Structure 1
Amino acid sequence: MIEIHGLTIKYGAAVAVDDLTFAVKPGQVTGFLGPNGAGKSSTMRAVVGLEAPHAGVALLDGRPYGMIGRPLEQVGALLDASAAHGGRTARAHVACVARSNGIGARRVAEVLELVGLAGVAGRRVGGFSLGMRQRLGIAVALLGDPGVLMFDEPVNGLDPEGIRWIRGLLRTLAGEGRTVLVSSHLMGEMEKTAAHVVLIGRGRLIEDASMASLVGRFGSLEDAYMELTEASVEFAAGGRA
């Protein structure tokens, strides 16, 4: 379970996350939505210890990330598909991360097969398309078979087959009882994938509700998003600001 309590993150005078509180429960895909600059990425980075909060806490099963001994067995995250070194092969990249957490070569081969990269595992990451890099990041996230998974825009660069694949993967992971948090700007895809929605704007919580209730109230997730975030969009065409 992911628990965010009173989380505040600042960059200089700018407040990226403002006293944010919500929980992400196991057994369902939770969509983490909001306009650009809403604080989604900063919040997810705080969960895995990459941002130090100015106030509040981000917890994994009641503990901060820094107190977890073998973190990949607790939480897997894809936050930046470009994070892999371009000079390494896909297999070497995954194997390096695996060794840092005491994970063996068999699991490396398993996750590469699972994400569809087994046939290109010997190729250098620098020659990968964005979609292939996304699959590589997902492989790393799955290495420790964790109970908590977070993905930031995981369908970027994927073709329609790849988007359908990631949709099925997310549902399967949640169906196994895992906690799955997914950030995306693709409202139609999120409506097909997520069972719950956490919506933020300007670093603050706007809505924390089931997908069914939002669609029931507004007709579609896209309509709900547009109406609920109207006051939180800083720059937009067509007069929305």
Structure 2
Amino acid sequence: MDGELFPRERTMIAPGAVHVPDWLAPGRQGELLAACRAWARPPAGLRTVRTPGGGVMTARQVCLGLHWYPYGYARTAVDGDGEPVKPMPPWLAELGREAVAAAYGTPPEPGPGAGYDIAPGVAYDIAPAAAYDIALINFYDGDSRMGMHRDAEERSTAPVVSLSLGDTCVFRFGNTASRGRPYRDVELRSGDLFVFGGPSRSAYHGVPKVLPGTGPRELGLTGRLNITLRVGGLG
């Protein structure tokens, strides 16, 4: 946001969970938005997600690499038009690797005791061993929400990478035991990066609120896009 008294700084929200403000430059945001618009078109395009209990997610979604549905993965849009899912672009997989490096720092040298310093005096082997091969792109309009949930359908424990475009949201990052407290609310703006791995990989998280009209005008997006990158480890 222009004219802020204090610049927003990289913050460790919990061990292994890091918020990096303004990581995507405006030009890169525009490129990513254009790509999202292309991915959202049929076949296997943007769809409404329905849960087995009959609920409807207010954020609409499109997937790359593998298609997520409640609660698993498939190679076709099994709860959409049934078409094969679009491939994961190599450049987007590389963006995931760059995001992890930006959140945690330079990958450590291998050897006894090697690991990222995710908390004072705590080292953790948190580097993804495989390439990012799944992307979930969620579109939120002003009334959309996302309940507290865990990303639990992957076999890999590689960090989850989250990129924000458009309107600001309140991102609620919780604990690994329950959907309730303790949790911490973080404001994610257009261009922000959030990475969570290590001991926070299975933490509950959600989006209780989107703030309409807060996105950068030059981006030309009404609403919010969230691009979540994951390593499936599913073969």
Is TM (by shorter chain) over 0.5? no
Q: Which has the higher strand share?
A: 2
Q: TM-score, normalised by structure 1?
A: 0.28
Q: Which has the higher contact order (CA 8 A, sep 6+)?
A: 1
TM-score normalised to structure 2 length? 0.28
